[in-house]
Structures are given as C-alpha cells and as structure tokens.
Amino acid sequence: MPKGSNVTLEQLDENRWRIPRDSRPDMRVDGLVYSSLAMIGDVIGGGALEQVANVATLPGIVRASLAMPDIHWGYGFCIGGVAATDISAGGVVSPGGVGYDINCGVRLLRTDLSRADVGKRLKELAAWIFRDVPCGVGVGGPYKFDAKAVRHIMSEGCAWLVRQGLSSPDDADVTESGGCLPGADPDMVSDQAVRRGNDQCGTLGGGNHFVEVQYVERVYDAEAAAAFGLAEGMATVMIHSGSRGLGYQVCADYLKQLRNCPSKYGIELPDRQLVCAPFESPEAQRYLAAMRSAANFAWANRQLLAEQVRKSLSRFFGQSSEALGIRQVYDVAHNIAKVETHVIDGKPMRLCVHRKGATRAFAAGHEELPQRYSSTGQPVLIPGDMGTASWVLVGTDRAMDESFGSCCHGAGRVMSRTQAIAAARGRHIDKELAERGIIAKARGRNGLAEEQPDAYKDVDAVVEIAEAAGLARKVARLRPMGVVKG
C-alpha cells in the first residue's frame, strides 16, 4: 500500500487502483480510482482517497465509488468523483456529489478561421473578447432578467432564450440534455438565489472559468473529428462557466435543509459533508428540483456567453458568424446529478448518477445523443490549464459498462489557490505565458496566479490514463492561443 493515505489501496493494473470494500466495515462497495503509478502520488495524502471510501458508504450505491484521473480533494465527494445509487433500493441523493457550482461545464465552438487568421491579430483579439465578455467575481452582464424571467430560464433552460429571440435553436441539439433538465421547479429555489442570478446569466465569473481561443493542433480520430466539424489548424473557442451565484446559493440552501435528513432516515455517515436523503424523500425531491433549475440556468448562461463570443468574433473579423463558420461542437456538464438507466449485473437499473467534476461520456448509439453523433459517440471536452492544451475525446462502450458513461473533466489541481498565489509571488504569469505565444487577460488581481499551469496536473497524462483505461478515446488536441479569465 502506498504511504501517505489512511485507506488500503491495491493496484489492479496500470490505470486502476482499488480500495477494497472489506477494508472498512462501513463501505458498501469498492472504491475504484483511475490513475497511474506516476500520478497516484499526487492523490495520496490529500484526503481525496478517504473521500472515495466515504462515498462508498452511501445507501443504495452500486458497482463502485469511482474517481477519475483528475481526482483531488473536494467538498464531500472528491473532485473527479462519480457515484450512482439505486433509486428503487433506497438510494440517496447528496448535494456534495454535485457541488456548489451546479452544472459547471464546457462548451466548444468550431470556426472556419485558421490558426494563422487568429495568430496575426491575437493580442488585439484577446483584448476585444476581454472587453465584450463580462468576467470576474460579482460582475454582471448586458442581460438583465427580472425574477419572472429568471424563473422561466430555470424551468426551460436554453429553449426560453430561443423563444425570446436571444439564441439560435441549433445549439440545443448539441448540448447535453438539450440544454434543459426536466423536473426543474423554480419554486424550490430561494428568492435570494434568484436575486443573485438576475444579472449573471451571460457572464463568465471568476476562478477557473474562462473563454479560450485555441487551434486544433492534432487530430487522432479522423472520422470522429469530421463528425464534430474539427480539422487540424482550425481555430476553436472553448467556454467554461457554470450557474454562478444562483447555483452556489442553491447548494448552500439545501446543505442546510438536508442537514437533519441522515438522522431522520437512519443514515450513518463518516463525513457530515456527505449529507444526503433517500431519492424518493420529499427533501431529496425538493433539492433535485432546485438543482435542475440551477443546471438549466447554467446552460442558458453558457448559451448567452456563446452568443456574445459569436458577436465579438463577427465584429472583429467584419463577417457574420455564419460566414466565419462558427458552430457549436458540444456542451457538457461537469457537476450534476441525473436519473439514468444503466445495466448492472445484466439488468437495466434506474440510477441517480452523481458526477462531481466528471464528464458524461456516452458511447455510440445511445438514445440521448444527437443524430449527428449517434455513430461516433458523445464529444467529451477536457479543458487543460491555460498554458498547455485541452482535449476533445469521445465516449466508449467500456465507459458505459464500467463508469456509468463517465470520464474526467479536466487536468485536476495539484495546488490550492492559496498555494498557487504564493508560488506566483514575484512572477509575472502573463509574461510567462506570452513567452509561450499565449495572450492571457484576467479581471481579478490573482486570477492568473491561481490558475497558472503549475497549479494543475499534466492534462496529457490525465488523458492518457482515461484512454488507456477505456473511458474515452482521443479525437483532437487543442492548443491555447488567447485566454480570458475572471
């Protein structure tokens, strides 16, 4: 057993590590961690392995408590955590399995612009997008929605924006769940959360959220890349944001509302951050209705961000977005709990799948995929740090069999934000990035320091593990050119 952790950890193969069910009396299933010998040391000692074991104690959990290759410590669940509970067998819902930034996710746009088209005007373009896209903690945007409109957004997601003439209907087809989870109920969202969202739909926020201009450096799967509309040398834009203050408030509200549920329903937990309630309970149903509302808000947020990016590029290059070939590749959620059917021990089972810092990775032929991706599988978008690369992968059958159709969601932190700021003291991260040919703009004083490349794992190594484990297959590697952060 590697040193530095209080859990028993067994290496199963080059990319899988097991925390045996019998290593703790309260565990109901094994823990399964996707990592390599070279990277497992970053995991041990940070508390994330204990969180994987803790999640394995949840009532109704099936198959295993999973951790993706970008695993690191989080609230309740580790970041990179995946767990599914059997709804019919008292399976629970845990807000800690979703997190504060409900439906934080990534949207990728492709263009007909080339790397050269962008590169010769890169500094000017980065400044242009920085001016046009609202970013930064607490910063509002050009869209002001009253409480009634925010509730419509929470109910209908992107569809409401289309009805208001604020968005094209084309993007919804290539957005996870069509940009709207059914079962949302804005009445389950507090007035305080609604107020926090009235000027934040269409804003980037701070932290690790970004708009990044990239280019396709290399294609690995020509068939899938063609289906996704990607080609080597093509300029792309990746958008990373979530439900902003509205989602944060929903999580905070329901952590309080559910805090007495474990004692009420006779659930013993090793960590109070795993507060939960049986799926069918009124408390869990209220949380799910509010969480779905926040998720729909997040999809609408990324939709409006994409619209602003389209308009910004159109004005900058003096051509319409159609002439520039700007089309959405896909949009994926990273922090969400969804009802899905998966085959367990040969039987279809209705599960509540928690993905906390994990991406859905459905295989070809799945009924939830848009027709254009039915024969290839779902695009899986993996943002890296702003100094290296991001990836487009595609879902696999093995992911469906082993991880509930889930994969990693990014590189994964190896430094806290406080540690990253300390490590950046006396340095100029923007100049360091400029030396690599990357123009970075940030609103906050510490934005670039917190998100410096050294704060993250090697995204290429993370992706190698995911592919070697069979969770997804490489399609294309995207290199950053210009980054806008809060």
Residues annotated as catalytic (active site), given as ranges? 409
Helix count and strand count (H, E) for the chain = 17, 19
Torsion of Cα atoms, 178 then 182 then 187 then 190, to 10°: -60
Tally of CB atoms within 10 A around 357: 27
Extract the tokens encoding 302: 């990324």
* Type of residue at 316: F
CB atoms within 10 A of CB 401: 14
The residue written with tokens 């690790």 in the block is 208
212 neighbors 386 (Cβ within 8 angstroms): yes
CA distances from 195 to 166, 198, 342, 447 (A): 21, 5, 38, 25
Number of Cβ within 10 Å of residue 337's Cβ equals 27
Centroid of chain to Cα 214: 19
H, E, C per residue of 325-351 = CCEEEEEEECEEEEEEEEEECCEEEEE
What is the Cα–Cα distance from 293 to 336, expressed in whole angstroms? 11
Give me the residues paired with residue 118 across strands.
none
DSSP label at residue 362: P
Distance of CA 338 to CAs 53, 63, 97, 260, 351, Å? 22, 17, 11, 23, 8
Helix (H) / strand (E) containing 127:
helix 122-132
DSSP secondary structure string for all residues of 58-104? STTB-SEEEEEEEEE--SSSPEEEEEEEEGGGT-EE-GGGT-SSTT-
